[in-house]
Amino acid sequence: MKRKTSSKRSKKRSLSANVIAPVLVGILAFVLWDVFVRVTGMPPYLLPGPLLVLQTLIADWNDLFSALLVTVQITVVAFVTAAVSGLLISVLFTQSQWIERSFYPYAVILQTTPIVAIAPLIIIWLKNNTFAALVVCAWIVAFFPIVSNTTLGLNSVDRNLLNLFQLYKASRWQTLLYLRLPAALPYFLGGLRISGGLALIGAVVAEFVAGTGGARSGIAYSILISSYNLQIPRMFAALFLTTGLGVTIFVGLSVLSEWLLRHWHESAIKEDW
Amino acid sequence: MIALNHISKVYGNGTVALQDMNLAIAQSQLIGLVGPSGCGKSTVLRLVAGLSQKSSGTIEWGMDREVKKLAYVFQDAALMPWANVRENVRLPLKLSGMSKRTAATRVQQAIELVGLSGFERSYPRELSGGMKMRVSIARALVTQPNILLMDEPFGALDEITRSKLNSDLLNLWQQQRWTVIFVTHNIYEAVYLSNRVIVMAARPGRAIADIAIEVPYPRTEAFRTSSLYNKYCREVSERLAEAMEERQEVRGETQNIF
């Protein structure tokens, strides 16, 4: 019990250091940026100062935030679809060597083809439903890390445990459910963290390519339009929102992963017992 | 009750793990299997457990298929890190389709048997090496087996933990009278535990000596310091040295050829 409290305390201390250090760097960067803009007299259409960006962000908050929500929707739908389909595909791969051998190369091809190059095609094919087209683009970028990580995890099961399951005549289904899937969880979560960020990138790229305006346009479209109109402060504000979204996704998935693995995985162990 | 007759095991790459291995084990005997690494000690266990297939020879069972109940304890505890002690111990019953409620009593008994009451909700990473091994033994005992195969179960433990687990294992064995094949590279452990110590030689793996340890159970701590114990240890160690020498000679010959 005593040990537990001391570990909590040291965790708190390291947490605050983990927060304070980057925040200081951030503040320093903003100050330098502001000083640079003031000293060089840089015009706002080339590089706006941080205060101007903040003002723009507040002034255009309603527009930008509703655009951000559209991007959030695309990202979340694509990400969830990627997680579910990625998991199913990996399970399928580990059930048969032949399926893995036959389809894995195509998963790689889908991953290595630049999304910018195929996005126009997808948007043309799904021209009646831009939202779906954007989701498909983001999904293509996001699903591969989940497939490759989870497949690795499902295959790297403790050999002795596999023997034990064999000894007790476990069915294929039992081995999957009680051994392979739990053993793959840390790998799956690692895949999720990578693909969360990628889903956002995929959505942004697809929005750029689609270039659709109207009520349901996302934050990337706002960045694009602002740059056309030389509204550089607004462009910066939208950029910050996008980055913020990316960081939120990453932090959220990290917290989820740490919580799910709190009992057992080395990566989640803060202190040696 | 278990008879290995002329068992050979050749791996796909041509390695002869076992050649003409013979071993007869009576019911409720505790057999210690010692030998240099690579002599096929673990292979014997894997063949008996049906985890790998023999190349030739027969294994006879002096019991019905129904009665035969095997349990295996691995070298490292091989616990599921995501499951607590109770869930780890329950695993064999869960795999056989027993409901959680029916299993509960037996799981609890097995945990008490190995002296882990109070740790039911602990996770493997919170346990010491010796406690992990105890969980692993409880998981083996929960199916109420009559044959227990142990593959260097205490090999990674410190000496004090090891001798504690040795005497605890003997106590349990006297209560439950399983037939045990205990693989180890520790001579002292083998002599202390076994009815018979089988010494194996490597390349090819085979049994070269069968030494009966004619000391009644319960074996006390005093036995560990007795001259009789020393005598047996010396005997096993001499036979083991022979096994190693033989290998040296074989190696010498091959060097001459080249």
Does residue A36 sit at the B interface (CB-CB below 8 Å)? Answer: no
Is B102 within a domain?
no
Residue of A168, A171, A176, A178 for testing the chain B interface, max B β-carbons within 10 Å: A168
Q: What residues form DSSP beta bridges with B24?
A: B3
For range A112-117, the mean pLDDT = 87
pLDDT of residue B249: 56
Residue A80 pLDDT more than 90?
Answer: yes
Tell me, yes or no, whether B98 lies in a domain: no
Confidence band of B203 (pLDDT split at 50, 70, 90): confident
B116-136 confidence digits (pLDDT tens) = 999 999 999 989 999 999 999
The pLDDT assigned to B66 comes to: 64
Non-local (6+) Cβ contacts of B113 within 8 A are B138, B141, B172
Amino acid B257: pLDDT: 42
Higher pLDDT, B248 or B256: B248
Percent of chain B with pLDDT over 70: 94
pLDDT average, residue stretch B215-236: 90
Reported as a pLDDT band with limits 50, 70 and 90, residue B202 is confident
The residue whose two tokens read 């595909």 is A89
Which chain B residues are within 8 Å of A269, Cβ to Cβ? 125
Q: Which residues of A touch B49 (CB under 8 A)?
A: 167
**Per-residue model confidence (pLDDT) at position A29:** 94
The amino acid at residue B18 is L
- pLDDT band for B37, please (50, 70, 90 cuts): confident
Residue from A264, A271, A272 whose CB has the most chain B CBs within 10 Å, to mutate: A264
The per-residue DSSP string of B108-148 comes to HHHHHHTT-TT-TT--GGGS-HHHHHHHHHHHHHTT--SEE
| Model confidence pLDDT, tens digit, residues B173-196 | 999 889 999 999 899 999 999 999
Residue B247: what pLDDT? 57
Contact map slice: A 172-201 vs B, CB within 8 A:
174, 178-179, 182-183, 185
3-state class of A135 per DSSP? helix
Answer yes or no: are the C-beta atoms of A80 and A60 closer than 8 Å.
Answer: no
Cα–Cα nearest to B32, from B221, B143, B173 = B173
H or E segment and range at residue B87: helix B85-95
| B51 closest CB neighbour out of A166, A263, A273 | A166
Instruction: Please count the other Cβ atoms lying within 10 Å of the Cβ belonging to residue B215.
Output: 15
pLDDT band, residue A14 (cuts 50/70/90): low
| Domain CATH code at residue B176 | 3.40.50.300
Q: How far is B61 from B5, CA to CA, in rounded Å? A: 11
In which element (H, E) is residue A259 found? helix A232-260
Core vs surface per residue A189-215: b (16+ CB within 10 A) or e: bbbbbbbbbbbbbbbbbbbebbeeeee
| Nearest partner of A48 among A228, A219, A221, A237, judged by Cα | A237
- Check residue B69 and report its DSSP letter: -
Q: What is the mean pLDDT of residues B83-97?
A: 94
**Residue B127 resides in a domain:** no
With bands split at pLDDT 50, 70 and 90, how would you rate the model's confidence at B254? very low
- pLDDT of B243 reads 80
Distance from C-alpha of B76 to C-alpha of A160, rounded to nearest angstrom? 8
| Contact flag B95-A174 (C-beta cutoff 8 Å) | yes
Domain-located, residue B65: yes
Residue A9 clears pLDDT 80, i.e. is over it: no
Contact predicate B196/B211, CB 8 Å: yes
Interface membership of A144 toward B (CB under 8 Å): no
Give the residue among A190, A180, A173 at the shortest CA–CA distance from A159: A180
Look at B82 and A163 and tell me if their CB atoms are within 8 Å: no
Q: Are A219 and A237 in contact (CB under 8 A)?
A: no
Q: Give the Cα separation of A74 and A64 in Å (integer).
A: 16
Q: Which residue of A has its CA nearest to B74?
A: A160
Residue B193 lies in a domain: yes
Residue B59 identity? I
CA-nearest of B177, B181, B224 to B3 is B181
Contacts of B167 (CB under 8 A, 6+ apart): B221
**Residue where the block lists tokens 């109770």:** B86
Q: Which two tokens stand for residue A66?
A: 């509703």
Q: Flag if B124 and A179 touch (Cβ within 8 Å).
A: no
Domain-located, residue B112:
no
Q: What is the mean pLDDT of chain B?
A: 88
Say whether pLDDT at A171 is over 80: yes
A-B C-beta contacts closer than 8 Å: 55
Classify residue B166: in a domain, yes or no: yes
Q: Does residue B53 lie in a domain region?
A: yes
Report the pLDDT value the prediction gives residue B255, as an integer from 0 to 100: 45
A273 touches B at CB < 8 Å: yes
pLDDT at residue B256 is higher than 90: no
Read off the pLDDT band of A148 (50, 70, 90).
Answer: very high
Q: What is the mean pLDDT of residues B140-161?
A: 91
How many C-beta atoms lie closer than 10 Å to residue A40's C-beta?
10
- Residue B12 pLDDT class (50, 70, 90 cuts): confident
Q: What is the pTM of this model?
A: 0.83
pLDDT confidence of B258, banded at 50, 70, 90? very low
From B72, B81, B96, residue closest to A164, measured CB to CB: B72
Give the per-residue pLDDT at A168: 92
Taking residues A16-24, what's their average pLDDT? 87
Number of H helices, E strands in chain B: 7, 9
pLDDT of residue A152: 92
Q: Is B156 on the interface with A (CB under 8 A)?
A: no
Query: Could you tell me which residues are beta bridge partners of residue B59?
Result: B4
With pLDDT > 90 as the criterion, what percentage of chain B qualifies?
Answer: 53
pLDDT at position A10 is: 52
pLDDT, average across residues B52-76: 85
For chain A positions 148-177, those within 8 Å of chain B (CB to CB) are 158, 160-161, 163-170, 174
Full domain range(s) for residue B160: 2-69+146-257
Q: Which band of pLDDT confidence, cut at 50, 70 and 90, is reported for residue A77?
A: very high
Q: Across all residues in chain A, what is the average pLDDT?
A: 87
Nearest to A122 by CA among A141, A103, A107, A104: A141
Q: Do A269 and B75 touch (CB under 8 A)?
A: no
Chain centroid, CA A115 distance in Å: 16
Whether residues B123 and A263 touch (CB distance < 8 A) is answered with yes
- State the DSSP code for B194: -
Span between the terminal Cα atoms of chain A, in Å: 12
Residue B64 contacts residue B230 (beta carbons within 8 Å)? no
Q: What is the pLDDT of residues A182-223, one digit of tens each?
A: 999 999 999 999 999 999 999 999 998 887 655 578 999 999
pLDDT more than 70, % of chain A: 89
Best interface-test mutation with B: which of A175, A263, A267 has the largest number of B CBs within 10 A?
A: A263
Domains in chain B: how many in total?
A: 1
DSSP state of B152: S
The pLDDT, as a whole number, for residue A1 is 36
